[in-house]
Amino acid sequence: MSDEAVYPVTDHFRNKALIDKETYESMYQRSIQDPESFWAEQAKRLDWMKPFSRVKDVSFASNDVHIRWFEDGTLNAAANCIDRHLEERSGQPAIIWEPDEESEDNRVITYAELHEEVSRLANGLKSLGVKKGDIVTLYMPMVPEAAYAMLACARIGAIHSVVFGGFSPEALAGRIDDGGSKVVITADEARRGGKRVPLKANVDEAVSLCKESSVDNVVVLKATGGNVDFNGNRDIWYRDLVGKQSDQCEPEEMGAEDTLFVLYTSGSTGKPKGVVHTTGGYLLHTSITHEYVFDYRPGEVYWCSADVGWITGHSYVVYGPLANGGTTMMFEGVPTYPDVGRLGRIIDKYKIATFYTAPTAIRSLMAEGDAPVANADLSSLKLLGTVGEPINPEAWRWFHQKFGKGQCPIVDTWWQTETGGILISPLPGAIDLKPGSATKPFFGVQPALMDPEGNEMEGATSGGLVLKDSWPGQMRTILGNHQRFVETYFSTYEGCYFTGDGAKRDEDGYYWITGRVDDVLNVSGHRMGTAEVESALVSHDAVAEAAVVGCPHEIKGQGIYVYVTLTHGQSPSDELAKELKQHVRKEIGPIATPDVIQWADGLPKTRSGKIMRRILRKIAADEFDSLGDTSTLADPNVVDDLIEGHRVAA
Ligand code: WTA
């Protein structure tokens, strides 16, 4: 991955950027040496109802992990994203929406309209009995109403839990149950690339699967007009709910540490966990990073192509840009529909200044040569960004050349659902770029690299990536399970937050994220726990045992490679492979569909019965020469069988 080419700060950004080299250095130093005064100063970018007196109260010690920022201050996130901009920007577009079908009308929602829509829905939710602290589940297409719903919850102090529309009814049910939601907001159908996803039917099924929760109301947006079953006692059309409401709704006064939202993410073990983000610190962090990393100026049209079902959609489609009074693009479709020129046409149509996307999207376009940009002007672009997985230098250069015409810097932003916002990234006016490197830490962020014994290493080296101190956007806990929070993030390296990623640091102090060092996969930028996929597989009658590992995949970054041992009497067939893939889709969702299924009579286990995944990973990656020590296996012969099986499967 190492690549020595350096792309210096461009003239455009050297002269005009919000943060230049000297400013970055001095602000970074101050943010580390005196975080309290640094963040007290930065927090002025938000409108507080009651000012805070204490900035930071944090302990990473494993016997007492707590993270609190601005604790006695109060504010409302929706008021910060909407109301405070009304005086200056009521007529400015807050959200621009581009539909899946190019021939359909787009929508432009001004700040005044956003205020009205959010207030009506907020009142509508109140009329259903939703109160401060209740969790509302959102299972929505990429339409403006998804953002309205998030902000309406924030306005009345309810906690939103957005579930990506690609998750199955089973996965949705687990999340509704975990949060105890009484209200679900959804749509008849979602559309992506001309295909339809039956959201409402999925919700119906999920609600019937719920064990803990009893859902009282399902609010249904008519998005496509597709047919849905309607349960008159429970279901209510979105427009009927908001139509009769007042367009005024006083924002609830929230404590900075009151929960803003829960978002589920995968870890290396167990079920997905509900990551808890709170109000003040999260909003400050998304707002400041959005402004400085993207060098954002109001008036510009900014486009982050993530779905609101993921953290990137939360932080950089909705909260960050709106907190800054920006104009944020929402695109319902996919980069390759109706053809690979779609992104270029959108950029030209709206004069997009900043385009922030995922390496997997770039790689899928790169495979098409010049076609994605052949008829595009793209001269409105000033900055490009990537997120979600390491970007290979080849894809970086293609993006830089074809979309950026060699003129636009690329900010390769490293962060996680847990971090709330960007932590390691170039600032375009301050940091020279190296393709494939997320470069330097943002203000207040103290990365370190650890050796296996838990010692911090200095200088150019590589190791486990940790963060030594808190930043305002950090997750606060796992919903309902603080102990799991402590064990997952604070027990590997005492006194540090462990990211689960490995990284390299070069002589210039640049960070290069090498990927997960735990059993988490990153498939097209989507996080997935190997344990989740395994438990979906073994819930099928034909499967006795399953082991899941990542394998290199040209477009997706990582593919899902599955080793399956069948139950007695079952025999391998293409039919069964298809059925197992279908089964995983049903249990988790299409994003978890296995790429390769290899039948295995036995798995490599130690004498104590532990599966040696290292060996399975190597075999899946064709790296038979570097299997390492296999002498501790209970049955070393199984390795040869697996290599043979791999040649057949792959
Ligand atoms: C990976 C997405 C390399 C990383 C915001 C992390 C990256 C996981 C980058 C979090 C990047 C994210 N370079 N790797 N720029 N950005 N990752 O929670 O492994 O969906 O731990 O958050 O994605 O994924 P998540």
CA angle 348, 349, 354 (to 5 degrees): 55
If you take atom 1 of ligand 1, which residue's CA is the nearest one?
389
Residue 560 gets the label, from left (phi > 0), alpha (psi -120 to 50) or beta, of beta
Q: Is the ipTM reported for this complex over the cut 0.95?
A: yes
CA distance 207 to 210: 5
State in Å: Cα 414 to ligand 1 middle.
6
Q: Annotate 412-425 with b (16+ C-beta within 10 A) or e (fewer).
A: bbbbbbbbbbbbbb
pLDDT tens-digit map of 470-520: 999 999 999 999 999 999 999 999 999 999 999 999 999 999 999 999 999
State in Å: Cα 415 to ligand 1 middle.
5
Strands 383-387 and 352-357, bridge-based pairing? parallel
Please check if 226 is assigned to a binding site.
no
The residue written with tokens 């609600």 in the block is 207
Pocket test for ligand 1, best of 319, 513, 517, 524 (most atoms within 8 A of CB): 513
Please check if 305 is assigned to a binding site.
no
Q: Is the CB of 500 under 6 A from ligand 1?
A: yes
* CA torsion angle 319 321 327 328 (round to 10): -60
If you take atom 15 of ligand 1, which residue's CA is the nearest one?
414
Q: What is the pLDDT of residue 349?
A: 98
Please check if 413 is assigned to a binding site.
yes
Q: Is the CB of 265 under 6 A from ligand 1?
A: yes
For range 611-631, the mean pLDDT: 91
Q: What is the pLDDT of residue 608?
A: 85
pTM over cut 0.90: yes
Half-sphere exposure of 646 (CA within 13 A, CB side): 19
For range 233-254, the mean pLDDT: 98
CA distance 480 to 488: 14
Over 80: is that where the pLDDT of 213 sits? Answer: no
CA distance 609 to 594: 25
Over 50: is that where the pLDDT of 328 sits? Answer: yes
Please check if 193 is assigned to a binding site.
yes
pLDDT tens-digit map of 515-539: 999 999 999 999 999 999 999 999 9
CB of 115 within 8 A of CB of 86?
Answer: yes
Q: Is the CB of 328 under 6 A from ligand 1?
A: no
Identify the band that residue 1 occupies on the pLDDT scale cut at 50, 70 and 90: very low
If you take atom 25 of ligand 1, which residue's CA is the nearest one?
416
Q: Is the CB of 515 under 6 A from ligand 1?
A: yes
Pocket test for ligand 1, best of 268, 317, 389, 466 (most atoms within 8 A of CB): 389
Please check if 641 is assigned to a binding site.
no
pLDDT tens-digit map of 365-401: 999 999 999 999 999 999 999 999 999 999 999 999 9
If you take atom 12 of ligand 1, which residue's CA is the nearest one?
388
What average pLDDT is seen over the chain?
Answer: 96
3-state SS track over 533-584: HHHHHHCCCCEEEEEEEEEEECCCEEEEEEEEEECCCCCCCHHHHHHHHHHH
Identify the band that residue 4 occupies on the pLDDT scale cut at 50, 70 and 90: low
Q: What is the pLDDT of residue 576?
A: 97
Please check if 607 is assigned to a binding site.
no
State in Å: Cα 515 to ligand 1 middle.
8
Residue 440 has which token pair?
């330097």
Pocket test for ligand 1, best of 262, 310, 411, 416 (most atoms within 8 A of CB): 416
Q: Is the CB of 439 under 6 A from ligand 1?
A: no
pLDDT tens-digit map of 29-67: 999 999 999 999 999 999 999 999 999 999 999 999 999
What percentage of the chain exceeds 70 in pLDDT?
99
Nearby residues of 483 by Cβ (< 8 Å), 6 or more positions away? none
Q: Is the CB of 115 under 6 A from ligand 1?
A: no
Please check if 132 is assigned to a binding site.
no
CB of 470 within 8 A of CB of 282?
Answer: no
Please check if 336 is assigned to a binding site.
no
pLDDT tens-digit map of 405-440: 999 999 999 999 999 999 999 999 999 999 999 999
For range 590-596, the mean pLDDT: 96
What are the DSSP calls for 283-339, one per residue? HHHHHHHHHHHTT--TTSEEEE---TTSHHHIIIIIIHHHHTT-EEEEE-S-TTSS-
Over 80: is that where the pLDDT of 3 sits? Answer: no
Peptide bond into 390 cis (omega under 30): no
For range 228-251, the mean pLDDT: 97
Over 70: is that where the pLDDT of 133 sits? Answer: yes
CB of 562 within 8 A of CB of 603?
Answer: no
Q: Is the CB of 311 under 6 A from ligand 1?
A: yes
Q: Is the CB of 437 under 6 A from ligand 1?
A: no
